[in-house]
Amino acid sequence: MQPIFISPDWLIYHQNDVALRLYDVSIHQNAEMIPQSAYLNPNLFKHQLNDMHYKTIFTEHGLHLDSSIILYDNGESETNVYKIYFVLCYFGFLKVSILQGGLHAWKTTFPQNLQTKYIKQVILQKPYMFSKSVEIINKQQLEQILQQKEQDINQTNASDIQIIDSSCQYQNAIHIKLQNLMIQNHYVTDPLALAQILRLKGVLKGKYLLVDGGLGERFIIFALLQLVDIKHFRVCVYWE
């Protein structure tokens, strides 16, 4: 899953496209918004991936599978943008993009009293759908995977189960006991650094990959993992 980023230039060029649905997903609703956009509260997306819950949200906010959706925030936390992007893709939305730089980039590029001069069109990449190998697992399934890795280590001192822990807490008992690979939070915004670390640690040779994060980091990690081409892995995302 590689997020599709668009520029303010692209958006201003297509602003009269009636098919576009523009959503501000900031934690706090902004006094200023990009014209023709609506507010989508990120707190609505903290629930389990329950079909009925999210179908209600989609209906109430005018989100349809054939909608061309653009998400942005005011720069508070890109986590919300990635999280909502993840949920929409999970439920089959094919046309979801992220405004690069969010509201700040828009205001910097196109202040209210400034007319558009030169427009540079950006060619969008083809959307990427989640592969069949992606699983959403619960706490019980997570514990089973951890137990399997522990057994492997006790028996052979090695395990094919590779775990990336992107939690905010740097050290924890599970990490020390199971020899998990820690990815510190500052790496999640740098795909090249992430790819290099994964290769150095041998993750790309593993049979299983478990992605676990304490807050929103798991969504960013999950998105960036697709950039280092691990589609052939069994990817598990732990959703609390």
Residue 95 belongs to a domain with what CATH number? 3.40.250.10
Largest CA-CA distance found in the chain, in angstroms, rounded:
69
- Report the alpha-carbon distance of residue 182 to residue 187 in Å, rounded: 10
Q: Which residue has the tokens 């019980």?
A: 140
pLDDT of residue 194: 56
In a domain? residue 126: no
In a domain? residue 45: yes
Q: What is the pLDDT of residues 77-92, one digit of tens each?
A: 667 888 888 888 888 8
Q: Which of 76, 109, 142 is the last residue of a domain?
A: 109
79 and 162 housed in the same domain? no
Q: Which of 66, 93, 109 is the last residue of a domain?
A: 109
pLDDT of residue 186: 42
Token pair belonging to 156? 């052979």
pLDDT of residue 132: 41
pLDDT above 50: residue 128: no
> Which has the closest alpha carbon to 140: 43, 44, 236?
236
> Which has the closest alpha carbon to 4: 106, 81, 103?
81
pLDDT above 60: residue 215: no
In a domain? residue 118: no
Summary mean pLDDT of the chain: 65
pLDDT above 60: residue 21: yes
Q: Helices 217-225 and 78-90: crossing angle, nearest 10°?
A: 60
CA atoms within 13 A on the CB side of 215: 9
138 and 101 housed in the same domain? no
CATH number of the domain encompassing residue 163: 3.40.50
pLDDT of residue 58: 86
pLDDT of residue 71: 92
150 and 95 housed in the same domain? no
In a domain? residue 16: yes
Ramachandran angles phi, psi of 168, nearest 5°? -65, -35
Q: Helices 191-200 and 217-225: crossing angle, nearest 10°?
A: 80
pLDDT above 60: residue 228: no
Stretch 39-51: mean pLDDT: 79
Q: What is the pLDDT of residues 91-110, one digit of tens each?
A: 888 788 888 888 888 888 87
In a domain? residue 23: yes
83 and 150 housed in the same domain? no
How many structural domains does the chain have?
2
**Helix/strand/coil for 165:** strand
In a domain? residue 115: no
169 and 97 housed in the same domain? no
| Residue 88: its H or E element | helix 78-90
pLDDT of residue 183: 47
180 and 90 housed in the same domain? no
Cβ pair 98, 124 in contact under 8 A:
no
Q: Which of 75, 109, 143 is the last residue of a domain?
A: 109
145 and 212 housed in the same domain? yes
Q: What is the pLDDT of residues 130-185, one digit of tens each?
A: 344 456 666 777 777 778 777 877 887 767 666 655 544 444 434 434 445 444 44
Which range marks the domain in which residue 55 is found?
Answer: 5-109
94 and 174 housed in the same domain? no
In a domain? residue 221: yes
